Amino acid sequence: MEQQAEIWDTETAQRYDTPGKGMFAPEIVTPTVDRLAALAGEGAALEFAVGTGRVAIPLAGRGVPVTGIELSPPMVEQLRTKADEATLPVVVGDMATTAAPGEYTLVYLVFNTISNLYTQAEQVECFRNAARHLGPGGRFVVELWVPELRKLPPGQAATVWHSETGYIGLDTYDVLRQHVVSHHFHFGEGKEAQLFRSPHRYIWPAELDLMAQLAGFELESRHADWAGAEFTADSREHVSVYRIPPKP
């Protein structure tokens, strides 16, 4: 947890938001918010690792009461430049153990955030923490990438997962520990480049389903994106919806 708190420091928080582009682009945010609003129904939502409010703020704008849990105070400070405490309450703490007040029909984690928990035990506790915030019929939604180990030939430990003008995304894998470090290189036309690194523990979909079962969830659906595309063996990511079984 301390390692993650160090990564999401003031400098990172201040340059995290990229309004209208990248992960903040309308074509990414809108279908995410559409799906979450439908799943929340008439109830309230809780976002684990709410960050600077990329999803929570527009979701609250749809009329869904949203609360966040966030480990990094600088990320919360950045969120507060866009939404006050009354609009979007935030509890500072980690998503595996921290409790938020209130009752919720939906808990959700977006953009691979569960992999920021660096051990299997912490990831299981995250599911259990979600279950503690939900009643029968409540849902836990996880957006997560599929590890790209099929791209790793023997002896190679890295894959380039994205490349465009001014940016290269590179992952290095430790397949023994299921650890991966994402390297984000930003550069211009000169010789200088900026590097941001984040460590993760990758999770296979089947392992994620077992974590859910240990916490009392059932898999309700899995799609390749927020718009509901079919999940296949070639899908690079998934949106998985888990549900606490309703009372008989």
Yes or no: say if 145 and 112 are a contact pair by the CB < 8 Å rule: yes
> Percentage of the chain with pLDDT > 90?
78
Yes or no: say if 102 and 121 are a contact pair by the CB < 8 Å rule: no
The per-residue pLDDT for 145 is 94
- With bands split at pLDDT 50, 70 and 90, how would you rate the model's confidence at 149? confident
pLDDT tens-place string over residues 54-92:
999 999 999 999 999 999 999 999 999 999 999 999 999
Fold category of 2-147+203-243 in CATH: Rossmann fold (3.40.50)
How large is the average pLDDT for residues 49-57? 95
Domain spans in the chain, listed from the N-terminal domain onward: 2-147+203-243, 149-198
Query: Would you say residue 95 has pLDDT above 80?
Result: yes
Q: Comparing 17 with 56, which gets the higher pLDDT?
A: 56
Q: Does the global pTM surpass 0.85?
A: yes
Q: Comparing 194 with 35, which gets the higher pLDDT?
A: 35
The per-residue pLDDT for 17 is 62
Joined together, the tokens standing for residue 103 give: 């009752």
Q: Mean pLDDT for the chain?
A: 92
